[in-house]
Amino acid sequence: MKKILTIIGGITAIAVILCVAVFFFVSKTSEKLVCKSAEGNITIMYNDNTITGYTAVGITYDLDGQKEIAKQIGVEEYMNQFKAWFSENTTGTCE
């Protein structure tokens, strides 16, 4: 039983390390739109083709839905529209 728990713990630790490594890789290789406000903060990571990820505190964000919108209108236009939306609907700004 002790051997099985050790194996499960090792697999779990490896999975966590891999997830953290993937997150940091995406974060380092992507451009970022950082938006801050009293209502919450969001950082959207993207490249020329798609939204690659995000981090948010106090704000919800539908990554799959927003990726689809960015695909339809283009990532650059999506970022411009998101900046405008954020400024109009919160007390914050994006940079």
pLDDT, one tens digit per residue, over 12-34 is 888 988 877 776 766 666 789 99
- Residue 68 has what pLDDT? 95
Number of H helices and E strands in the chain, helices first, is 3, 4
Angstrom distance (rounded) from CA 49 to CA 66: 13
Q: For the segment 36-64, what is each residue's pLDDT rounded down to a tens digit? A: 999 999 999 999 899 999 999 999 999 99
- Taking alpha carbons only, the member of 42, 61, 92 closest to residue 84 is 92
pLDDT at 10 (0 to 100): 87
By C-alpha distance, which of 54, 38, 58 is closest to 46?
Answer: 54
pLDDT band at 2 (very low <50, low <70, confident <90, very high): confident
pLDDT of residue 17: 87
> Edge-to-edge, what's the strand order for the sheet holding 51-57?
51-57, 41-46, 31-36, 93-94
